[in-house]
Amino acid sequence: MSERYSRQELFDPIGKEGQMKIQQKHVLIVGAGALGTGSAEALVRAGVQKITIVDRDYVEWSNLQRQQLYHEQDARNRLPKAVAAKRRLTEVNSEVEIDARVMDVGVEEIEELSRDIDLIMDATDNFDIRMMINDMSQKANIPWIYGACVGSYGISYTIIPGETPCLQCILETVPIGGLTCDTAGIISPAVQMVVSYQVSEAMKILVEDFQSLRKKLVSFDLWQNQHTFIQIDKIKKPNCLSCGHERTYPNLSFTNQTKTAVLCGRDTVQIRPAEPVERDLDHLTQALSIDGEIDVQNPYLLSVDINQHRLVIFKDGRVLIHGTKDISEAKSLYYRYLG
């Protein structure tokens, strides 16, 4: 097994010393979609001590084109992404501890997940959760690496508390309103490019080579053949509520938390019960097979088709209602069958 990291140790900026540091680090990856599976595989191969990977969704056929840890069987079984990811990651490198969580990340969850974490990798698909990560990063003094992509376009920025501007500083600088959901499709090289930027920066942080960090906002379009770097240090605001002198971490306040959410580009509404519940999936399978048709039941979730909707009920209490973007319609279905 000593051969395992030899090529990485031969790379001068890492060396044996850097490798030892990597092997003592714990990375939190928020999201196990395209970016999350890419980052997770790279960091697990690189030999970090521990990865915590968290995701609220399950594997679908439309994921297989770019979400590199998943197989057809995962889509067939509608396996939660975190569970499927852990399986594959353990096959890749059994020396790395993988903590896989099937859950929706809210304020409470991000506080718990961020304990003893050296670095947070952003692999999410929306800005609500990114703003939470941003404030948690500032509060607990943990670097995080923003990454996102759509179409053939990608963007990344590394946020180091106390050094760089934070996402709150950045998004305050530009007119808001355009932060809607991306529904334009995506090609896998755009994913891989963002993953490469994120993981390179991650490695520098893990070996504590902060001087080598990129320090610039990077964006590219692989179809339009464009690549842009911008220095944005000046955007840092002394009075920023997330990273400034009188910080209040507005994105970690509970009032900002929603219990229902329309999932990005998915024609799906997620409903979280107000109090945590553990669902009895066997019992629900029986009860719901009267009105609906059972699609899949596995140890983590139950998927059932009722008329033109599909309800996916997770053991942790959450329900995804597919076939609608209308929160009130989703709620009425929820209360009819699970209230």
Residue 65 is a binding residue for other proteins (CB under 8 A): no
Name the 3-class secondary structure at 267. coil
Q: Which span sits near other proteins by CB under 8 A: 12-20, 43-51, 137-145, 176-184?
A: 176-184
Q: For strand 26-30 and strand 50-55, is the pairing parallel, antiparallel, or unpaired? A: parallel
CB 260, CB 312: distance < 8 Å = no
Per CB under 5 A, does 168 bind Zn ion? yes
* C-beta separation of 206 from 25 below 8 A: yes
Q: Which does 166 bind (CB under 5 to 8 A by kind): Zn ion, other proteins, none?
A: Zn ion
Q: Which tokens hold the place of 269?
A: 């509404």
The binder of 243, among Zn ion, other proteins, none, by C-beta within 5 to 8 A per type, is Zn ion
CB of 170 to Zn ion, least distance (A): 8
DSSP conformational letter for 252:
G
Interior angle at CA 99, CA 94 and CA 101, nearest 5: 140
**Residues 241-270: x where in contact with other proteins by CB under 8 A, - otherwise, as a string:** -----------------------xx-----
Closer to Zn ion by CB, 241 or 284: give it.
241
* d(C-alpha 154, C-alpha 152), whole Å: 7
Is 149 labeled as catalytic in the residue annotation? no
Q: Binding to Zn ion by residue 240, rule CB under 5 A?
A: yes
Residues 2-31 that bind other proteins (CB under 8 A): 31
For other proteins, how many residues bind (rule: CB under 8 A)? 46
User: Residue 30's closest CA among 112, 95, 87, 88?
Assistant: 112
Closest-CA residue to 83 (of 113, 104, 63, 53): 53
Instruction: Count interface residues toward Zn ion (CB under 5 A).
Output: 6
CA gap 242, 43 in Å, rounded: 28
What minimum distance in Å lies between the beta carbon of 256 and Zn ion? Answer: 17
CB of 127 to other proteins, least distance (A): 6
Q: Which of 169, 205, 269, 321 binds Zn ion (CB under 5 A)?
A: 169
Whole-angstrom Cα distance, residue 104 to residue 60?
18
Closest to Zn ion by CB, 128 vs 182, is 128
Under the criterion CB under 8 A, does residue 60 sit at the interface with other proteins?
no
Candidates 149, 166, 181, 243; catalytic one: 181
Six-digit token string for 256: 């900002």
Contact in structure between 160 and 208 (CB atoms under 8 Å): no
Q: Does 126 participate in binding other proteins (rule CB under 8 A)?
A: yes
Token pair in block for residue 14: 């890492």
The footprint of other proteins (CB under 8 A) covers 31, 33-36, 122-127, 130, 147-150, 153-155, 170-182, 186, 194, 217, 219, 226-228, 230-232, 234-235, 264-265
Q: Which residues are catalytic?
A: 181
